[in-house]
Every structure is written in structure tokens, then in C-alpha cells.
Structure 1
Amino acid sequence: MCLRFVFIILLFHSFLGDALQEKHYLHFKFTALSKANTLPEFSAEAVADDRQIIHYNNEDQSWVRSSLTEDDWTEAPALPPDSRDWFIHQMKTLSNCTNTQCSELHVLQRIIGCELKKLPDGTMNLTVFDEYGFDGEDFIAFNSGTLQWIDKNPKAKETKIKWDQQTKRNELLQHFLKTCMNWISTFNNMKKTPPDVHVFVRKAPDDQNKQVLTCLATGFYPRDIKMNIRLYRNIIKDQTSSEIRPNADGSFQMRSSVEIDRNHKDFYDCFVIHSSLTEPAVVEWEKHYLHFKFTALSKANTLPEFSAEAVADGRQIIHYNNEDQSWVRSSLTEDDWTEAPALPPDSRDWFIHQRKTLSNCTNTQCSEFHVLQRIIGCEMKKLPDGTESLRAFDEYGFDGEDFITFNFGTLQWIDKNPKAKETKMKWDQQTKRNELLQHYLKTCMNWISTFNNTQKTPPDVHVFVRKAPDDQCKLVLSCLVTGFYPRDIKMNIRLYRNIIKDQTSSEIRPNADGSFQMRSSVEIDRNHKEFYDCFVIHSSLTEPAVVEWDGNYADCETESQWALKAVLITVSVVLVLIVSYCIYRRKLLNGGQSSGYGDRTRREMRTEHHPSHKGQKSSYDVENGAKMSLHSDREEMSSPESKRRVWYFKNGSSPHTNISGSPRCEQLVFCTS
């Protein structure tokens, strides 16, 4: 058991390592047949990263560029230093054939080229090779380091001796293998081709109540791709994949499918990751619908006896108000539709009556709990070919089970439960009501086209910074998107266009107007002045929205230093003015004579009003040195302006110096390293 477990871990580690390796290669493949009745005697091709780039044309006896365009490389790859005739001659020599047709089938194969693997640690692994196989077995291989051949088969010993002596040819092979790696770097196949992604639905072959939701990605290059169908951004299990298949133009395609319940009106999308994409591609299953939902309860102690709502594309647009017994527009505005949707032709009282009939209840309270539910409406799905698939329905459920459903075409009812047979017979005879239902379901589709919910609302994107709560030297950079519709959105904070890990997301939340918002945050070092931006993908946008953080927040440390200097200068000026004014007043009181000012001030403290500070008192006390304090009377302290002024003076700042000019300064504490 332990050995098996270790083996599984090693196997997984090997698989993971291969998955993380980026691989590029150029292979020349040659085949020669001794009996070529239907197949060509000689065939050859060059393949770069799974894509044929040139092949040998036997009619013209020349190499021909394959489906790639002139832009795919700057110059054609160098050819191995051996001709078609030389290769056929080697096949005949090994087969012991004369120039005439061989009696037996023999096959000589060759693969020569180079491979480059980029490992997860960033290092490069380079490999060059020239290998031959004969009649399905390894035969001989070239060692480019020693310029010697390695026999892989006892039958190859004679060939090894002969080819080891061909020094000139071996040097040419070595040179070709060296230039092979240079060519890979010039092959513009690295200009990757992004996939075209489509989502469509078809009816399940074995179950009427099921649908097959399919994602198709096609036209992509290189070959490797990851694709999943998601429900509310969660990958669905049990998907069926076609695996990756080649297209005629050298690109690739892949298809994934999953069965879903046809009544599931949830949010599905196709999520694709490919090396040609800077961000994953997300394609929503495009559908629009209007559903009226009704519920009636037999025992409604805490819940209402009757409830109803209309939902369009996942958004409640109207609901039933039991107090007023009327339909009320929900949070959407007048601009969201040109006219209100038509209501189904059945009243609240009719629906409650049906519940009582099915529950065998009288007009008094039922002794048992019963639930009658109904969903009526229409759906429009847009198919990949541009056509639209329309469906209208009216379905009932009773006590958690399917009960009865309306056939839009025949104006008849289909019983889904043995208990519904009596109801079916009764409702089939209600011709007038059934015609009204048919008319309502026809108008339902017309209303969907007028509902401006299909006019998607783009997000408002904001980037802002606040101080980290636990670390003064950290900042929290946040991206906020709000006001968008429909719900699905993808947002990331990036540094130099690379997505930052460990982002904290609020997930998608509803706004009061029916739109949505989302916030993502990440902690950054306060000294990082690099290029941050907020990258947003939404179906309302033709291109992703990119909002940069300019990084020009106010440096509160520097600003505070200037503020402190300004405060000190202001206080000094005010102090000089006050002292000068006090001296002047005392001279006036003493008849203009200069008496002992120091003795006078030792005996008493004089208080004067400064004209620039109405209601404030200035005191001068010689015993304590030249010291000033400002006090406000009780009335002035009640005003916000006076409170702010006192706060500034106590903190050594001037009321005329605005150190909170930048809102960021109130939040940020700048550290010195």
C-alpha cells in the first residue's frame, strides 16, 4: 500500500512537472517505403510546436511551405544535409533491395531536430538529435558532441562503422543541429493565436427535461488550452470533453459539454485559459427570460399566504404587495422598460382557490401544510449561428413535486403526476382561459425585446489607498467597481500588468438600484511607487477597463514639517505683536512714562483683547517667561471653527495652515527607513 502511494505521488509530481514546462521544438520527419503501391515511396515534413510548417512535394521534388503565412517566420528553416535520393538509397541498402521493386515491405524512418524546454525555475533545457528507425525498431542515433553514431540495434553495427568515417557529413549534421535552435527563436509561431469561444445549447438526446450546454474553443495556437463550463463561477463536474483536435489551418479546437436541467435559469459561462490571452476568456451563455413565480401556502403563520414576483434576466422587476393587493414596480427605474409586462390571466384569489381545492381544505385554516407553486413565462436563447431559440411555458408544482404543465401548441394540459389527472380534465375544458394563456405567452417574447435590461450597464471603476490597520508602513490599495449590470464581472489589481496574488475580494454585491458592485484590495509597501492598475472585464465593455493608480498621494511627513514651520513662524509673529501691544498700553496708562514694567507685571497680570482674535484673551507672565495661551469663551467654544482653532494651537499648528488638504494625509502615516 505504501509503495503504491509513493508511486502515485511520484507519478503526480512527474505529471505536474511536465505541465509546468514550456516546450518548443522543430522536427524533420522522413519516411521511405520499399513497396509503395498506394503510399508515396518518400515523404517528409517539418513540424514546429505540433504545426506542420513545410512538407516535401514528390511531384515537384521540392519543399513547400504549408498553410502558414509569410508572417510566420522571417526565413525558412535550414534543411538537413541529406537529399531525398540519399534517404531512399539507405532504405534499399538496409532492405537488400536492387533497383527493382522489393518483394517485401520495409520502412526506414528518421527524425532530426531540436527541442527547447523552459523549466519552472526559469532555466532552459536544450536537446538536439538525429535518430533512425528501421522496420518499426530503433536503429541508430547521432551523438552531436562526439560526432559518432550509436547503434541501437545489432543490425546497425555495419552502418555505424560506415557513418562514423563520414567526417564531413557528421560536421554538417552538427552545424545543422546548432542552427536549429536559432531558428526556433525566429519562428514567429510564438505569436500565439487566441481562441474563438462559443457557448450554445441543444436538447439532450435521452431526456426531454435535460439540455446539453456546450463550450467550443477553436482557431487557437499553440495547442495547450484549459477550458471549463462554470455555474456561478464554480467549475461544474462531469464535463465531457472532445480533447484537443487539429483544424485544417494548423490551429486547434476543443469542445466541452455538460447536461443541465432545462429549468435551471442560473448563470453559466465558459472559462478559457490560453497562453495567447493576457486574461482568461469568459463567455456567457446568452439568454434572456421573463418569469412570473407564484406561491400559495395552506398554513401561513409567519410567511404570507400568497406571494408572487416577476424576474427578468435574474433581476426582480415587479412583485405582489399583499397589503394593497396590487403589483408594485421593484427597484428599477422608468427607463428600464417602455411599458410594464403583461400579467398572466389568473388572479391572486384564483390561485389560492386552486391550492385549497388540491389540499381538500375548507375556507377555514387547513390542518396540514401544503404548497402550490407556479412558474409561467418565456425564454430566448441566442445560438452560435445567430438564430434565436424561443420557448414559452406554464408549469405547476404541488407539495414539492411536478404537477401539471401547459402545452402552448395544442392548448392542452399535460399531467406530470397521477394526482393531476382530474385537474387536467377540468382545465382542458376551459377553452377561453387556455386561449388567453396562449396569447399571453406570445406577447411575453415581445416584451423581452423591449426590456432594456439587455442594454448592459458598464462599471464605474475607482482606485484608492488607505493606511493598513496593522502596519504603519503598509498601504491597502483597493479597486472598486460599481453600477454594473449584468452581474458577472472579473476584476484584478495588477503590478506592471501582472496580476497580484493574495487579493481580498468582497465578492459581487447588489446595489439598491438593481446593479452590482465589487471591491478588491491588496496590501502594498508604502514605498512602492511602481505601476499599479485595476483591470476590469465586463460584458458591457468592448475592451477591458484599465484604471491606473497615479501614486501621487501627499507625503504627510513632508507636509507636516512645512506645516510645523508655518505654525512656529505664525506664533512668533503673534507673540511679538501681543507683547508690543501690552507695552504700548502700559505706557499710555502711565502717562507715557517708562516705569518699571518688570515690577508691575510681577504684581499683577494684565489681560488685553487682540483685535485679530475676537473673544480671545492674551496673558503675559514674567515669572514664567514669555508664554502665551489662547482661551475661548464658552459661547465661541460651541462653534466648530473655534474648536478647530483651539485644536490647532494645542497641537502646535496654525489655524491658517491646512495640513489636511489631502484626504489621504488624514489616514496615512509615513515611515522612515
Structure 2
Amino acid sequence: MHGFSIMVIIFAKIFALLCVLLLYGILPSTQAEKHSLYYIYTVLSKPVNLSGIYEFTAVGLLDDTQIDYYNSEEKRKIPKQQWMKEKLQEDYWERGTQSRKSKEEWFNVSVKILRNRMNQSESDLHVLQWRHGCEVEQQGDEVKFLKGIDEYSYDGENFLSFDIKKSRWVAAVDAALPTKRKWYYKPELKQISKAYLETKCVDWLNKFREYGDEELRKTSPPDVHLFAKRYIKYKTKLKLTCMATGFYHKDLMMNITKNHISLPEHEIESTGIRPNHDGSFQMSKSVEIKEGDERADYYCLVSHKSLKEPIINKWDGKCWDCLPEIPTGAMIGFVIGAELVLAAFCFLFFKWINDPCSRTASESPE
């Protein structure tokens, strides 16, 4: 009967944990994933003579990961991912190079036009940037278009954008009105922009993800660590942190539970998804453990598409930077012992310096 009760308790805990996983989407499921493909073009109104800063650059980003690059010095579109280099033929990069060169010429002319339009000095530095691309949502094998972005900024401020739903250009400032009026009388430009964002961009996004997934599937699952450290301000509190690192798809789910109950979001501090130096990503979530809560069962639950099942780590109750507690009696004994040793050392030292026979010949006065 006793064994049966233990089995019931274990089953109840497992069931509660599974409920938490299902409730917060930690278990593998057909949950929708969001993906994006963007290209960012940047031109400066004049050279800045700084290493790594070019008058014109173009960057391709798949799910915020750089996949290709072009600058005004090398003048060649190059792959930034090994799978891009392996999967795409040389003619793709040649066509891309020619496209980037033509855009570079257009941007150089455009930034000068805007500078003159705003009566700005040639000695000042100004920046014109264009970002365009698309975002999709994938659930299973179904890919759904979410939105398309086609927008220009000048000196970091919104300038002109394309409203894909209404198929029209929107000027954010008065200085953009002449460009808006000019493009208004080019209906083919609106058609090309809309078709690219809704169709061509999505096709390339799916193709790149297919190429990239084949390579990313070879990567190891995320490393998950659960540890606690002492708060600097509050010596009676601990900060429990769950960190996952080394994953390549950004759709990672993480949750922290206490006694098999998920903690509310307002009690959890999150870094969000951050990039690592090698192109992978990391994420951390932390929670405050108050005095007396150290004996609770804390778990970190992580789910990722590279995992067949979630990673579930339990906190071992240890603190990285906490000093071990020493009983009061032991501390008093330690202090008394140290004082006795010091007193004996001092007695022998003074006895030695006052005994001439204890000195060597080299220490004797002449």
C-alpha cells in the first residue's frame, strides 16, 4: 500500500509538470514559427576614413542572421554562411554583384539630392538607408505571409515607406513629399514592390531556410545551465538563472517553475534572444529567490526544434558565490586557535632577534 502511494505521488508530480509544459507551449508541437528575410542598404553622404566603415553597404539577413554582404570597397556580393556558398551557383553571386553596383550608384545620387533638397552642408555627414523584406508564419508545412516592409530612413528618422495593404507610398516628413509625388506616377513601381514583398521575397525566404535547415540540423542542441548567485544589493536573496546557448533557430521556448507551478512573467527577468560570436544564439531568464525559498523545487524547461523532447533541469540548491556558513562555536575556536599560534610565533621571533648566538657571521656587526 505504501509503494502504491509513492507511485501515485510521483505520477501526480509528472502529470502536473506535463500540464505546465502544455500550458506554456514548452512541449514540442505544431506551434507557429515566424521567419523573416530582410535586406538593408546604407549609404553615407561622404567618406569617414574609418576602418570597416564604407560609403555604401548592403546586408542580407535571414532570421536576423547575416547571409550575404557587399561594400563599396570590395564591390562584390559575397556569402556569409557556408551553406549559402555551397548551395548557390556562381551566377547567383554575379547577378547579385551587378544588382548591388546599380543600387550603389542610385543611392549615391539620391543622398546628394536629399542633402540639396534640405539645404544641408556638404561638410556634414548624412545617412540614407533602405530596408525591405518580408515575414512569414509557418505551422507545419503551411507557410503564411505576414507582412512586407519597404521603408527608407534619413539620418535615422523615418522618411518614406510603402503601405502594402493600400498599395501606396507614405511620406513621414515634408521633405519626402516630392519623392512620393514622383513615384505616385509610376504605377509599375508599386506593382513591382508589392509582387516582390508578397511573392518573390517569400520564395527566396523559403528556399534559404531549406538550404540553411539542412546545415543547421547538423548542429548540437542548446546547452542549458541552471545556477544561482547571491544578489549584490540583497545579501539574503539569490538570483536563479536559466541560460540556454549555442542554438541556431531563434524559436526557443524557456520557462522556470517553482514546485511544478510556472512563475508569472512579471516575476521573471529575461534577456531575450541574443546573438553569439559564432552565429548561434543565447537566452537567459532569471528569478529572485527570497530567504526561506531555497528548499522549493525549481526547474528550468527548454524546448527547441533541435530537441526531440524538452530539456528539464532541476536546481541543485547550490549557490556559486555564497560562502559556507560556519557554526558560531567553530568560528570562536578558530579565532582562539589563530591567536595562540600568532602569540607563539611572536615569542619565538623576539627570542631569536635578541639572541646574538642565533645570528650568522654575515649578520654580525663589523
TM-score range, shorter chain: 0.5 to 0.7
Provide the secondary structure at the position in 1 that maps to 2:244: strand
Of residues 105, 108, 116 in structure 2, which corresponds to 1:367? 116
1:307-334 per-residue CA deviation (whole Å, 9 max, x = no partner) reads 311111332233333444445666x6x5
CA-atom RMSD in angstroms: 5.4
CA contact (8 A) 1:457 1:485 kept: no
- Kept in 2, the 8 Å contact 1:508–1:518? The answer is yes
Matches within 5 A, 1:33-182: none
Task: Tell me the residue number matched to 2:160.
Answer: 400
SS at the partner of 2:312?
A: strand
Match of 2:268 among 488, 504, 513: 504
Residue by residue over 1:424-474, the C-alpha shift from the partner in whole angstroms, topping out at 9 and shown as x without a partner, is 9xx9xxxxxxxxxxxx99998655433246537643222222333444333
One-letter amino acid of the counterpart of residue 210, structure 2: S
Q: Does 1:459 align with 2:222?
A: yes
Distance 2:85 2:108 in 1: 37
User: Distance in 2 between the 1:509 and 1:495 partners?
Assistant: 23
Superposed displacement of residue 490, structure 1:
3.3
The answer (yes or no) to whether the contact 2:33–2:251 under 8 Å persists in 1 is: no
Partner of 1:252: none
Q: Which has the higher helix share?
A: 2
Note the alpha carbon deviations across 1:572-620, whole angstroms, 9 max, x for none. 245335535765886785xxxxxxxxxxxxxxxxx999xxxxxxxxxxx
Asked if 1:315 is matched to 2:65, the reply is: yes
Secondary structure at the counterpart of residue 367 of structure 1: helix
Distance 1:558 1:450, change over 3 A: same
Given that residues 77 and 100 in structure 2 are in contact (C-alpha distance below 8 angstroms), is that contact kept between their aligned partners in structure 1?
Answer: no
- Alignment correspondent of 2:32: 285
After superposition, the Cα gap between the structure-2 partners of 1:380 and 1:469, relative to the gap in structure 1 and judged at 3 Å, is closer
- CA shift at 1:533, angstroms? 2.0
Whole-Å separation in 2 of the counterparts to 1:345 and 1:559: 72
Q: Deviations over 1:206-234 (max 9, x none)?
A: xxxxxxxxxxxxxxxxxxxxxxxxxxxxx
Instruction: Letter of the 1:546 partner, please give it.
Output: I
Supply the distance in 1 between the matched residues of 2:163 and 2:104 (Cα, whole angstroms).
16
Report SS of the residue matched to 1:575.
helix
TM-score by length of 2: 0.55
Give CA-to-partner distance per residue, 1:348-392, whole Å, 9 cap, x none: 4422444578x6x9x98862379795757x9997664x47799xx
Query: CA 1:557–1:422 in 2, change beyond 3 Å: closer, same or farther?
Result: closer
User: Hey, what's the Cα distance between the residues in 2 that align with 1:535 and 1:276?
Assistant: 10
Q: What CA deviation, in whole Å up to 9, does each residue of 1:113-156 have, x standing for no partner?
A: xxxxxxxxxxxxxxxxxxxxxxxxxxxxxxxxxxxxxxxxxxxx
- Shift of residue 508, structure 1, vs aligned partner: 0.4
1:351 and 2:103 matched: yes
Specify the SS of the correspondent of 2:186. helix
Instruction: Give runs of aligned pairs for residues 366-515 of structure 1, distance below 5 A.
Output: 367-368=116-117, 373=130, 375=132, 384=140, 386=141, 400=160, 402=162, 418-420=184-186, 447-452=208-213, 454-455=216-217, 458-501=221-264, 502-513=266-277, 514=279, 515=281
Name the CA distance, whole Å, in 2 between partners of 1:559 and 1:324.
68
Instruction: Name the CA shift for 1:326/1:567 in 2 (closer, same or farther; >3 Å).
Output: farther
2:343 to 571, 575, 585: 575
2:302 pairs with 1:536: yes
TM-score (normalised: structure 1)? 0.33
Letter in 1 for 2:333: K
Distance (Å, rounded) in 2 between the aligned partners of 1:389 and 1:293: 23
Distance 1:351 1:525 in 2: 61
Classify 1:324/1:563 alpha carbon distance in 2 versus 1 (closer, same or farther; 3 Å).
Answer: farther
- Match of 2:86, SS state, is coil
Is 1:339–2:86 an aligned residue pair?
yes
Alignment of 1:522 with 2:274, yes or no, is: no
- Cα distance between partner residues in 2 of 1:582 and 1:306: 78
- Deviations 1:244-273, CA, capped at 9 Å, x for gaps: xxxxxxxxxxxxxxxxxxxxxxxxxxxxxx
Amino acid aligned to 2:103: F
Q: State whether residues 58 and 69 of structure 2, in contact with CA within 8 Å, keep that contact through their aligned partners in structure 1.
A: yes
- Give 3-state SS (helix, strand or coil) of 2:290's partner: strand
Which structure shows the higher strand fraction? Answer: 1
Q: Mapping of 1:187-198 within 5 angstroms?
A: none
Q: Is contact 1:483–1:517 with CA below 8 Å preserved after alignment?
A: no
One-letter amino acid of the counterpart of residue 67, structure 2: I
Structure 2 partner of 1:84: none
- Tell me the SS of whatever aligns to 2:23: coil
**2:299 counterpart SS class:** strand
Offset at residue 498 of structure 1 (A): 1.1
TM-aligned CA distance change 1:310 to 1:487, over 3 Å: same
The verdict on how the C-alpha distance between 1:561 and 1:295 changes in structure 2, with shifts beyond 3 A counting, is same
1:557 partner SS:
coil
Provide the aligned length of Structure 1 versus Structure 2: 286
SS in 2 for 1:339: helix
Please state whether the residue corresponding to 1:473 is helix, strand or coil.
Answer: coil
**Structure with the greater alpha carbon radius of gyration:** 1
Percent identical residues: 22
**Aligned partners of 2:315, 2:79: CA distance in 1, in Å?**
40
**Unmatched segments (≥5 aa) in structure 1:** 1-192, 194-273, 405-415, 428-439, 590-606, 610-673
